[in-house]
Structure 1
Amino acid sequence: MDDIVRQALAKWPNVPSCTGWLMLDRRGNWRMRDEAAQASGAPGAQIRHEALLGFINRNYEADEHGQWFFQNGPQRVYVELGYTPWVVRLSAHTDGSLALHDQGGGAFEPVAVFVDEDGGILFADHSQPARVAVLHDHDLEIFSDHATLADDGSLSGTFHWNAQLTLPLQSVKRDQVAARFGFVASPAAQD
């Protein structure tokens, strides 16, 4: 968390939190949701300002209930999640190694791989509790280049992570991901 945010929290500790105004979509884009977007269920306008994106990513955390928020100075802005609290991009380097980075640019080291019923790929890392991230759909080809799938069409198989680690593909139901990994996709303010 930024020092300026800590200072604002100390100065104004009782600012009410808000919900509905910020969304992390399925592709890792931060979106501002005005009243019209909230009323219609639309994702809202994509935030493109680099300094603001950096500020959001540095001050993005979860509360004790698994609700993710952006600490905007003294105000906690709860985040609507398009799927998971993290979205990762997969890249392959010329030496054959792979890298995963979350929407804020941080490295993500997978210890488990899941496939939902729609073919969505999710990674879990080693942190406790485990962070779960959905793979950006533009990276499915890279993923498939490093996966071995079963011939029975079951979406089972293995993912080969940097030659030293083979991870089994585990099945997960999309509607059970939040409960399994302890997060709330659509939080309510906790004032």
Structure 2
Amino acid sequence: MDDQVLRSLMKWPNVPDCYGWLALDRRGQWRMRDEFTQLNNLPGQVIEHTALKEFIARNYACDAVGRYFFQNGPQRVHITLAATPWIVRILPSNKGLNFINQCHQNMDPAGALSDEKGNIYIAGNLNQIIYNSSDRKNGQFTERNSQTIALLHDHDLDQFSGLAKLHEEACSFGGSWVWQGKQLPLDPIHSEELASRFHYIAKPQP
């Protein structure tokens, strides 16, 4: 969290929250969604400005009830999630392959899930910024390594399938997969179970 953001919160703690105007899509892109976009259920305009994307990524956090938001100075901009709070890619590095999310963080996987639509989700630990109170004046941000869930980018599904051994289950697939020499579980899940199981709210409301 940027120092200037924290200072602005101390100076103006009662700025109203914003809902519906910013979204995270299934490919890890931030999208602006104006009133017309929201009323017509459109995806919104992809944010291309590099500095703005980096600012959002540095100040992306969640609260105690599972609402993810971008702390834009003193204003909290709640994020509409098309899938999960995190979207990951399988990307190479000097140490091999890594799962990297839309905020450029490395995710340490503990397992994977597959849903009824063929989506793959990576479950694991990640350093998250968490606002630990509903009281804006007395709450504070803390960084905590905690379990979360990330949708695997659809461009990496073929690469993941090369790591996995699958067997068909009711309306989904299960099995195991190998990551950095470790065999990890691949379990079925229904997409509607994700939010409650991993404690996030896809469409925050006032």
TM-score range, shorter chain: over 0.9
Work out the CA distance in 2 between the residues paired with 1:45 and 1:151.
38
CA contact (8 A) 1:117 1:174 kept: yes
Correspondence for 2:177:
159
CA contact (8 A) 1:86 1:102 kept: yes
Number of residues of Structure 1 aligned to a counterpart in Structure 2: 187
Q: Determine whether 1:23 maps to 2:36.
A: no
Q: Which residues in structure 2 correspond to 1:34-113 (within 5 Å)?
A: 34-92=34-92, 97-113=96-112
Q: After the TM superposition, which of the residue ranges 111-120 and 76-85 deviates more from structure 2?
A: 111-120
Work out the CA distance in 2 between the residues paired with 1:176 and 1:146.
25
Work out the CA distance in 2 between the residues paired with 1:18 and 1:92.
37
What is the TM-score when the length of structure 1 is the normalising length?
Answer: 0.92
Structure 2 counterpart of 1:161, one-letter code? W
RMSD of the alignment, in Å? 1.8
Percent identity, aligned pairs only, is 45
Work out the CA distance in 1 between the residues paired with 2:150 and 2:17.
25
Moved over 6 A (4+): none
Offset at residue 43 of structure 1 (A) = 1.1
CA contact (8 A) 2:107 2:125 kept: no
Work out the CA distance in 1 between the residues paired with 2:121 and 2:146.
15
Q: Name stretches of at least 5 consecutive residues in structure 1 with no aligned partner.
A: none
Correspondence for 2:154:
137
What is the TM-score when the length of structure 2 is the normalising length?
Answer: 0.86
Work out the CA distance in 1 between the residues paired with 2:101 and 2:55.
15
Structure 2 counterpart of 1:57, one-letter code? A
Offset at residue 145 of structure 1 (A) = 1.1
CA contact (8 A) 1:92 1:142 kept: no
Mark the CA change 1:94 to 1:51 in structure 2 (over 3 Å): closer, same or farther.
closer
Structure 1 counterpart of 2:119, one-letter code? G
Work out the CA distance in 2 between the residues paired with 1:94 and 1:107.
13
Q: Determine whether 1:171 maps to 2:188.
A: yes
